Amino acid sequence: MKGFIEQNDFEAVRSHLPEAFQGPVTFAYRTGWRVSNEILPLKWKQVDFTAGTVRLEPGTTKSGEGRTVPFGAFPELASLLRTQWEKTLSLKMETGQTVLSVFHWNDRGTIKSIHLKALCHRWQIARQRAGVPTRILHDLRLTAIRNLAERRGRDMNA
C-alpha cells in the first residue's frame, strides 16, 4: 500500500541497515515522530527511565505542542532505549566523551550524532537490498500513525 510500510518490509529494510541506524528508524516506526527534527536531535535529558517516558518540549515540534510517549507501554521501544543507554555508557567509558544524543555512532573514535542525509542514504540502500518498493523515511511516520490508531481502536473494542 502506498505510503505505508508493512511489518515484514520494515524488518527486511531494517536488517540491511548498519546497527547504529536501526534505532532511529525503529523509533520512527513505533512512535510516528518526525525523524529530522524530533528523533535525530533527541537527547538523554528527554528520556525518563523512571517514568518510562520520552518527551518533546513545547516549541520543539512542528505544531509547537509538546509530546510524550510512554515507552513502557511498548516493549520494543523500552528495549531499544535501554540498549542505546548501555551503548552510550560504554562509549563514555571507552572514550571519556559525554554523549548527549540518544542516537549516535562511533566513527573512527569520534562519537557523532546521526544526521538526516546519512540516514536517508543508508535507508535507500537498505530498501533496495531488501527488495522493498520505494518507501521514504516519512512513510515510517504515516505507518506509525495508522498502526497506533488501529491499536487504539482494538483497545477500545476489547
Domain ranges of the chain: 7-153
Q: What dotted CATH number matches 7-153?
A: 1.10.443.10
| Entry field: residues in the chain | 158
First to last CA, the chain: 27
Where are the alpha helices (H) located in the chain, listed in sequence order?
7-15, 19-31, 75-95, 116-130, 138-157
Residues 34-66: tens digit of each pLDDT? 998 999 999 999 999 999 999 999 988 888 899
Q: What is the pTM of this model?
A: 0.88
Q: What is the pLDDT of residue 158?
A: 60
